A and B are shown apart, each in its own frame.
Chain A
Amino acid sequence: MKHFARRLKVQDNVNTDYVISGRYKFKIQDPKELAKHIFEDIDPDFAVRVTKGDILVAGENFGCGSSREQAPQALKSAGFYAVAAKSYARIFYRNAFNIGLTLVECDTDFIDDGDELELDTDKDKLRDVGKGLVLDTKPVPKLMKKLLEDGGIVEHFKKYGGFRLE
């Protein structure tokens, strides 16, 4: 599957309320329904531009603010294959890997909206196909890779009956 960049208008300090507003997340339980409203308060037309397999591109401190897992869940349900940002807030970082959404940390300044991207999580590389640029992504901790391999923390836990960090 080909992956295309979907770049946010606001790059830095995008909080989880901006990912999915409290107007929706407190009353809607269906992630597919939530996915229709992502980034509505900062970029009202964003949700309709997302197609399955896209990579969300953001700046520093992505996912700060509330702990609500509806944020990564809505991104996953919207069809995002991964998120590429310069840095993440810690609760969002855990939540994403827990539910099986890949996050990569790298310099995202060079990526334009619509660029075709190739992600290699084994070698920690992100390639912008059109620009011919290859970027190193910060290595994902072993534990996180393990959680992704197992399909998230629930599946990991069921598989081993507890944590298996090694």
Chain B
Amino acid sequence: MGKTIAEKILSNHAGRDLKAGDIAICDVDFCFGQDGTSSIIIDSFRKLGVKRAFDKSKFYMIIDHSSPSPNMGVSAIHKKMRDFAKEFEVGMYDIGCGVCHQLIPQKGHVTCGDLVLGADSHTCTYGAINVFSTGVGSTDLAITLASGKNWFKVPETMRVAVTGKLPKGVYSKDVILHIAKDIGSNGATYRSVEFYGDTISDMSVDARLTISNMAVEIGAKVGLMEADEKTLKWVIEHSRKEPRPVKADPDARYVAVKRYDVSKLVPQVAKPHAVDNVADAESLTGVKIDQAFVGTCTNGRLEDLEIAAKILKGRTISPGVKFIVAPASTEIFLAASRKGMIDIFVKSGCMVVAPGCGPCVGTHNGVLADGEVAISTANRNFKGRMGNPNSFIYLASPATVAASALEGRITDPRQFKTRLS
């Protein structure tokens, strides 16, 4: 019987033939931690008593969650990471470099066919470039750092086909929110999801990363896409590693098949306090906002900033709205600057903060007050996510966030139709 992408990549890394349900020890091509998880990675690694990392070039630590440090507790953790990197001669992206899920593919650490573990739940992002990548906890990561291996249960696979040309003002973020609404936050738990269809093929790599990034929000272990010409061009531009693209067999076994025609989809918004609590943007136009945020591992890429900048150009945001922009990496920041986007943001009243997670995880850079409402391009809107359990977070595309910031309330971006790409 044929195999899914997950079955093939895990088989390749176990050195034996695997099918869904099998448990196997696999070799891992790359692993990493960020500043919310690395402290325990370091503690667990030291408890293991090993003298060195399995391969110094295959592990990185990234400081992105609180970057630069907002308090003494975080500073102590950052210092602990720097000291460990020095002692064990492992790589590190320090404050200001960007978000781990942008840096890892952009800096060429991963390529098609790789098996990757990250101590961060959104590690599933690189599924969009045909990498089996998934999030684990810190101790799991420490085991891999010591041995280069970990145990994997081969997941069953759900096939999701997305077809139809996206209407103007509707983006990959709207597609994945629409899918989350249908499948639910628990609908793909422990499964691999494979995304197919002409809508996906038409998308840029940036846009595809947004979809795979949110696979974990429907419970999935990984959100995989096949490598096409666009993918290969992108990975070859970014990485010196030889890509080993993996396709599913035509007779692969799927536990479920879902189809979405998105040709009539309208802008989507996830309401507080759950990612699958999704409604059409136009049904929420009465909701006033206090803060807007464009950035994160979901939507902090150049294309995302471009979409927001086009809507903002030459206008000022609604009085009283705080608008924060966090480019996902230094390179994106510089590219946005070269294209004049940083000027547009600042002149329209936005604050551009250091590349990193920004206010998404509620440690700094725009913690909400009691009763405040934010609209954000992030992937989670759990109660308290942005630092205050008495605030309200809506999730949307960069276009919807920018349009909402101009109006001071949730706004369907199709209202600015001449400014949409």
Query: Do the two chains belong together in a single complex?
Result: yes
Identify which of residues 178-236 in chain B touch chain A, using a CB-to-CB cut-off of 8 Å: 185-186, 189-190, 219, 221
Judged by a CB distance under 8 angstroms, whether B271 is at the interface is: no
Q: Could you list which residues of chain A lie within 8 angstroms of chain B, going by C-beta atoms?
A: 13, 15, 17-18, 21-23, 25-29, 40-42, 60-61, 64-70, 72-73, 87, 89-91, 94-95, 98-99, 141, 143, 152-154, 157-158, 162-163, 165
| Interface pair A26/B274, CB less than 8 Å apart | no
Known A91-B136, A153-B139, A163-B149; judge A23-B35 contact (CB<8 A): no
Judged by a CB distance under 8 angstroms, whether B101 is at the interface is: no
| Interface pair B36/A26, CB less than 8 Å apart | yes
Q: Chain A residues near B39 (CB, 8 Å)?
A: 29
Judged by a CB distance under 8 angstroms, whether B363 is at the interface is: yes
Q: Chain B residues near A152 (CB, 8 Å)?
A: 139
Known: A42-B389, A89-B189, A163-B151. 4 other contacts (CB 8 A): A69-B40, A69-B138, A154-B48, A157-B143
**How many residues from B make CB contacts under 8 Å with A?**
53
> What's the dominant secondary structure at chain A's contact region?
loop
> For residue B384, which residue of chain A has the nearest CB?
A41
Q: Which of B3-11, B66-74, B83-91, B249-257 contacts A (4 or more CB under 8 A)?
A: B66-74
Q: Chain A residues near B76 (CB, 8 Å)?
A: 29
Out of B23, B190, B274, B383, name the residue touching A141 (CB < 8 Å).
Answer: B23
| Interface pair B49/A61, CB less than 8 Å apart | no
| Interface pair A61/B137, CB less than 8 Å apart | no
- Shortest CB-to-CB span from A152 to chain B, Å, is 7
- Shortest CB-to-CB span from B14 to chain A, Å, is 12
| Interface pair B36/A68, CB less than 8 Å apart | yes
28 A–B pairs (Cβ distance < 8 Å), ordered by A = A15-B382, A17-B382, A17-B384, A18-B382, A18-B383, A21-B362, A21-B389, A22-B361, A22-B362, A23-B387, A25-B36, A26-B36, A27-B66, A41-B389, A60-B186, A64-B185, A67-B120, A67-B123, A67-B135, A67-B136, A68-B36, A69-B40, A69-B139, A72-B137, A87-B189, A98-B140, A143-B151, A163-B25
Bound-state Cα–Cα, A22 to B74, Å: 12
Bound-state Cα–Cα, A165 to B389, Å: 42
Q: Which 9 A-B pairs have the closest CB atoms?
A: A27-B73, A95-B137, A41-B389, A69-B137, A41-B384, A61-B186, A67-B121, A67-B135, A98-B139
Known A27-B77, A158-B48, A165-B25; judge A91-B35 contact (CB<8 A): no
Known A26-B361, A26-B363, A165-B23; judge A157-B48 contact (CB<8 A): yes
Q: Chain B residues near A91 (CB, 8 Å)?
A: 121, 135-137
| Interface pair B384/A21, CB less than 8 Å apart | yes
